[in-house]
C-alpha cells in the first residue's frame, strides 16, 4: 500500500469515522466510440466522452461494523449497480485496512436524468466508491475505482479520471490512450432526441465482431482526434464527432440525426455529437468564430422548428471541478490551490 492510496497516520478502528461522502460528475454522450487497437494490437472497444460539469451524483455512505458485507441498503431503491459498487468498495477498503468488511447504508442524491446516455449509473457508482472509501479514511486511485466500477456495472465511463480526453476501454476499465490535457474549446448546444425518452441499454444489440474496415475507420478517427486535441482544432473535433455519430447510427438510429447535421451545416457549426447509448445530443461551435451569439440563437430556433428540444448550453473549457477533486473530508487535502497559471473561469453561458 502506498501513501497515494491512504492518508498519513490513519486513525484506528475505534476512532475512525464511519460516514463518508463522494461526488462524481456526468458527461454529455460521446465524441468518439468504436473499436480500436490496444497496445498489443488487439481489437478493443473504446470511447471518448464529452465532459459536462455542474451536474452529477453525490453519495453518502455509513459503514456499520459487525454487519454482513452484503447488508447494504440504498436510498432511493432500485440503484442496484450502486449497491454492488458499495459492497465491492467496502471489501477493497477493508482489505487495505487489514480489517473485516461490513455492510452499511448508502444514500444517493443528484440531478441526472436516467437512461439518456449521460453516465448516470457510472456517476452513481463512482460517487458511491468514493463515499465508501471516505468512510474508511481512504482515497482510492482512479485505476482502482475504474476496476470496481466495471465489476459493478459491466461497463463504465471514464469519469473517475476527470475531464481529460481519454480513449477508454469501457468494458475493461483501462485507459487506451491519454489524448491530451483538454478537448479543443467548444460551445455546445445540448438537446434531447427520441422525445427525451430513456434508452434501455440492455436491449441494444450486442456489438458485432470488429471488421477490418471498422478498425481502419475508427483508427483514422482516433488519429484525427489526437491531432485535434494537440492543435486545439475545434473544426477537426466536430468532424470526428460527426463521423463517429454517423457510424453509430447503424446500432442506435436517431431519426433526428439528419436534421441535426443539416442544422449544424446551416449555422456554421463545427459538427454534432450524440450519446452512443442514449438520447442526448449536441451541436458544437468554435467559440472563436465570429458571430457566435447569433449562430447559437439561430441554432436554437432551427432546433425548435424541427421539434427538437434544446436543453442546455455548456463549454468544453469550463474549469475542472468535483470530478477531479472528490468531496469528503478524506479528500480535502487533495485540492490543489490555484496558481498563477490557472486558467480564468470563462463567463457562464445561459441555459436554453
Pairing state of beta strands 187-192 and 309-315?
Answer: antiparallel
Would you state the cell numbers that stand for residue 281, as one nine-digit string?
445530443
Residue 209 makes CB contacts below 8 A (sequence gap 6+) with none
pLDDT of residue 309: 87
- What are the cell numbers at 49? 466522452
User: Along the 352 residues of the chain, how does pLDDT read in single tens digits?
Assistant: 444 444 444 444 444 568 999 999 989 999 999 999 999 999 999 999 999 877 899 999 998 999 999 999 999 988 999 999 999 999 999 999 999 999 999 999 987 777 667 888 899 999 999 999 999 999 999 999 999 999 999 999 999 999 899 999 999 999 999 999 999 999 999 998 876 665 655 555 556 666 778 899 999 999 999 999 999 999 999 999 999 999 988 877 788 999 999 999 999 999 999 987 778 899 999 999 999 999 999 999 999 999 998 999 999 985 433 333 333 433 333 333 333 333 333 333 334 4
The pLDDT of residue 199 is 61
pLDDT for the residue numbered 73: 95
pLDDT of residue 75: 94
Secondary structure of the chain in the HEC alphabet? CCHHHECCCCCCCCCCCCEEEEEEEEEEEEEEEEEEECCCCCEEEEEEEEEEEEEEEEEEEEEECCCCCCCEEEECCCCHHHHHHHHHHHHHHHHHHCCCCCEEEEEEEECCCCCCCCCHHHHHHHHHHHHHHHHCCECCCHHHHHHHHHHHHCCCCHHHHCCCCEEEECCCCEEEEECCCCCCCCEEEEEECHHHCCCCHHHCCCCCCCCHHHHHHHHHHHHHHHHHHHHCCHHHHHHHHHHHHHHHCCCCCCCCHHHHHHHHHHCCCCEEEECCCCCEEEEEECCCCCCHHHHHHHHHHHHHHCCCEEEEEEECCCCCCCCCCCCCHHHHHHCCCCCCCCCCCCCCCCCC
**pTM confidence score:** 0.82
Tell me, what's the pLDDT at 250?
80
Q: How far apart are CA 293 and CA 290, in angstroms?
A: 9
Q: What is the pLDDT of residue 17?
A: 61
Q: What is the pLDDT of residue 340?
A: 30
Alpha carbons within 13 angstroms on the beta-carbon side of residue 167 total 24
pLDDT at 118: 82
**CB count in 10 Å sphere of residue 192:** 20
Amino acid at each position: 500500500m502506498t501513501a497515494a492510496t491512504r492518508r498519513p497516520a490513519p486513525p484506528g478502528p475505534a476512532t475512525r469515522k464511519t460516514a463518508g461522502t463522494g461526488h462524481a460528475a456526468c458527461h454529455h454522450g460521446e465524441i468518439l466510440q468504436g473499436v480500436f487497437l490496444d497496445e498489443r494490437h488487439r481489437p478493443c472497444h473504446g470511447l471518448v466522452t464529452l465532459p459536462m460539469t455542474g451536474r452529477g451524483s453525490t453519495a453518502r455512505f455509513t459503514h456499520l461494523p459487525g454487519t454482513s458485507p452484503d447488508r447494504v441498503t440504498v436510498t432511493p431503491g432500485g440503484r442496484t449497480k450502486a449497491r454492488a459498487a458499495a459492497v465491492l468498495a467496502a471489501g477493497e477498503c477493508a482489505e487495505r485496512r487489514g480489517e473485516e468488511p461490513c455492510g452499511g447504508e448508502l444514500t444517493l442524491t443528484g440531478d441526472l436524468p436516467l437512461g439518456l446516455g449521460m453516465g448516470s449509473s457510472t456517476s452513481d457508482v463512482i460517487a458511491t466508491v468514493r463515499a465508501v472509501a471516505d468512510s474508511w479514511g481512504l482515497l482510492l486511485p482512479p485505476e482502482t475505482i475504474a476496476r470496481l466500477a466495471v465489476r459493478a456495472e459491466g461497463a463504465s465511463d471514464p469519469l473517475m479520471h476527470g475531464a481529460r480526453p481519454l480513449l477508454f476501454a469501457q468494458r475493461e476499465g483501462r485507459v487506451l490512450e491519454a489524448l491530451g490535457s483538454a478537448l479543443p474549446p467548444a460551445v455546445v448546444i445540448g438537446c434531447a432526441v427520441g422525445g427525451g425518452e430513456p434508452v434501455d441499454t440492455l436491449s441494444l444489440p450486442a456489438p458485432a465482431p470488429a471488421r477490418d474496415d471498422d478498425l481502419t475507420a475508427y483508427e483514422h478517427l482516433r488519429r484525427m482526434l489526437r491531432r485535434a486535441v494537440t492543435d486545439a482544432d475545434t473544426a477537426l473535433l466536430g468532424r470526428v464527432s460527426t463521423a463517429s455519430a454517423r457510424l453509430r447510427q447503424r446500432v442506435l438510429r436517431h431519426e433526428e440525426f439528419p436534421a441535426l447535421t443539416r442544422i449544424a451545416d446551416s449555422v456554421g457549426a463545427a459538427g454534432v455529437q450524440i450519446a452512443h447509448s442514449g438520447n442526448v445530443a449536441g451541436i458544437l461551435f468554435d467559440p472563436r468564430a465570429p458571430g457566435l451569439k447569433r449562430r447559437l440563437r439561430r441554432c436554437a430556433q432551427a432546433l425548435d422548428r424541427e421539434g427538437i428540444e434544446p436543453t442546455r448550453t455548456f463549454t468544453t473549457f469550463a474549469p475542472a471541478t468535483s470530478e477531479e477533486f472528490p468531496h469528503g473530508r478524506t479528500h480535502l487535502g487533495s485540492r490543489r490551490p490555484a496558481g498563477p497559471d490557472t486558467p480564468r473561469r470563462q463567463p457562464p453561458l445561459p441555459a436554453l
